Amino acid sequence: MGKVPKSSAASEVVMFPHQPALQLIYDTAPIGLACLSPDCRYLQINQRLTEICGISVEDHLGRFVRDCVPGLADAVEEIVRSIMATGEPVIGIEVAGQRADQIEERSWITYWHPLRASSGEIVAVNVAAEEITERKRAEQRVRNARDAAETALRHLRETQESLIEAEKLAALGRLVAGVAHEVNSPVGSGLTVASTLQHKVEQFAQEVARGGLRRSRLNEFLDLVRDASSQLVSNLDRAAERVQSFKQLALDQGQSRRRSFDAGELTKEVLSHLARESGERGIALNFTCEGDLAMDSYPGPFGQALTNLVLNAMIHAYPEGRSGSIDIEVRPADRNHIEVVIADDGCGMAPEVKRQAFDPFFTTRRHEGATGLGLHTVHSILVDRLGGRIRLDSEPDVGTVVRLVMPRSAVTGD
């Protein structure tokens, strides 16, 4: 490729003869400007382009782009060929490469327009270039920060889900302890009756062996056996009922399956399993319910939400061994909804605590190992799973009232 003679049309066009004002604007423009010949030689370069590309006017005028900035040559030559072939400008093209005086990659956004002679022939290509290296680096930093934030958020959600499962298991553990206590009582009573009966049978057998058994003694023994049998059946029935009740509750919570149930009966079962812990804490659980409480929903999440609310009240409303009472009422809200009201006479909440009560990981007792997920889990279950809503009212030293309103027929899918 030979050099373009200085008398060529391209040279005359781009050197702005007799137009000093235009030349001055060109030289002082805040963006890089250049004029390239069809064979990619520099015909004109302004001062700004020398600054952002690391080139000098004296050393580059008349020289090929490939000789001056080899790192950009391929992209430049491809664009110039496109303009020469189509006659159309190329707008907003990002070009990446190395400056002639540096090894790090830099970026420019460029605008390319054909320069035509009076005959219409394309004699040169005008280029405007703005360096965007810092902007690209800032964008990359933002992308990196966003990726890091998304990764952290994903890890946080995974941790939250794990902690919520742990919270559910902890509540289930309390129910297990309650069931163990309730089952132990009738089983212990039954064992005592059976041991007594066994001893009486051995005594009666010895009397029979000696002979001379009187009718009054036989009748007395029969009355004893009859009474003991009745007590055994009663205690075993009670134990079987509690085991079956807990089995159904655990199944519902484990599978979260939808079925028809009575909200009042389910609430009663849940509270019965919490009676031991409330008794140990000196907290009375007062339960009332009205009729017409049939639901077609998810008894497991329902029971889980109720368990979390009552346990939360026991733990937080009555600190330092304080006693009190929690009133639980289940009633129809309207034809299509059920309302559960849980009211305690505990210490209540300060306004700032009340505002954050349902936020994940918020707790006032983290030093005691609380995770801050109890009420958040309740909110998630009630709103996302049961399609209901929740309202909390609380005043310091007065107590807290939580109202749950749930549709009788769950709107969420299985």
Boundaries of CATH 3.30.565.10 in the chain?
164-407
Check whether 342 has a pLDDT greater than 90: yes
Q: What sign does the dihedral 390-266-329-336 (CA atoms) show?
A: positive
| Partners of 327 in the β-ladder | 286, 343
> Could you tell me which residue, 88 or 190, shows the higher pLDDT?
88
How many CB atoms are located within 10 Å of the residue 359 CB? 13
Boundaries of CATH 3.30.450.20 in the chain?
9-131
- Do residues 174 and 278 touch, judged by C-beta distance below 8 A? no
Q: What is the mean pLDDT of the chain?
A: 80
The whole-number average pLDDT for the span 363-387 is 72
The whole-number average pLDDT for the span 388-395 is 91
Tokens 């002082």 -> residue:
28
Give the orientation angle of helix 215-255 with respect to helix 133-210, to 10 degrees: 170
The whole-number average pLDDT for the span 179-199 is 79
> Which of 100-114, 224-238, 300-314, 332-346 has the lowest average pLDDT?
100-114
- Do residues 404 and 339 touch, judged by C-beta distance below 8 A? yes
The whole-number average pLDDT for the span 52-57 is 69
The whole-number average pLDDT for the span 10-27 is 57
> Could you tell me which residue, 362 or 10, shows the higher pLDDT?
362
> Could you tell me which residue, 9 or 226, shows the higher pLDDT?
226
The whole-number average pLDDT for the span 251-278 is 80
The whole-number average pLDDT for the span 167-182 is 61
Cα–Cα distance for residue pair 205/228, rounded to 1 Å: 17
pLDDT-based confidence at 12, cuts 50/70/90? very low
Check whether 326 has a pLDDT greater than 80: yes
The SS3 call for residue 401 is: strand
Domain 9-131 sits in CATH at: 3.30.450.20
The pLDDT, as a whole number, for residue 218 is: 84
The pLDDT, as a whole number, for residue 315 is: 84
In our burial notation (b when 16+ CB lie closer than 10 A, e otherwise), range 33-53 reads: bbbbbbebbbbbbbebbbebb
Check whether 360 has a pLDDT greater than 60: yes
- pTM of the predicted protein model: 0.46
The pLDDT, as a whole number, for residue 41 is: 92
Candidates 1.20.1070.10, 3.30.565.10, 3.40.50.720, 3.40.190.10; CATH matching 164-407? 3.30.565.10
pLDDT-based confidence at 405, cuts 50/70/90? very high
Q: What sign does the dihedral 95-99-104-106 (CA atoms) show?
A: negative
The whole-number average pLDDT for the span 365-375 is 60
